[in-house]
Amino acid sequence: MATVLIALVAVFFLGMGLLGLVAPAVLIKPFGIALTVPDARNEVRAVYGGFGVAVAALLGCAAADVAGLRPGAVLAIAVALAGMALGRLISRAFDRPSAFYPTWFYFWVELLAATLLLYATL
């Protein structure tokens, strides 16, 4: 069961990463951000694209428990996801999202993924 949970989160990151690499403007559009200059597209490709694919690869290795890295890799990514969700909560003190999607939708996605990964470490 742990392997399936880890793989599920890996697939999410792979999808996000590939979309970030191939179509950065599409990925970031729900947040109302226009990528009008090459440097902006580069940033999204790096942070959402490259990072997302790298996390997916790491989770893939964790799912297969390559070199026994599963516990550390899964915990690190779970904590990172929880930190992203926490950042959205802190932002709530300063900003009011205009709708459930995308801000609160991704808050719940991040929280769920962190929870699944933490559960997979038990």
pLDDT at 17: 98
Domain boundaries, the chain: 2-120
Give pLDDT tens digits for 52-94. 999 999 999 999 999 999 999 999 999 999 999 999 999 999 9
Lookup: tokens for 59: 């989770």
Mean pLDDT of 103-111: 96
pLDDT at 26: 97
DSSP code of residue 37: S
The answer to whether residues 59 and 81 touch, using CB atoms and an 8 Å cutoff, is no
Distance of CA 18 to the CA centre of its chain: 12
Going through the chain in order, the beta strands assigned E by DSSP cover: none
pLDDT at 98: 85
Give pLDDT tens digits for 7-30. 999 999 999 999 999 999 999 999
Q: Please state, in angstroms and rounded to a whole number, the distance separating the CA atoms of residues 99 and 69.
A: 39
Q: What are the angstrom distances between the C-alpha of 99 and each of 35, 85, 103, 111, 112?
A: 22, 16, 8, 18, 20
pLDDT at 122: 85
pTM over 0.75: yes
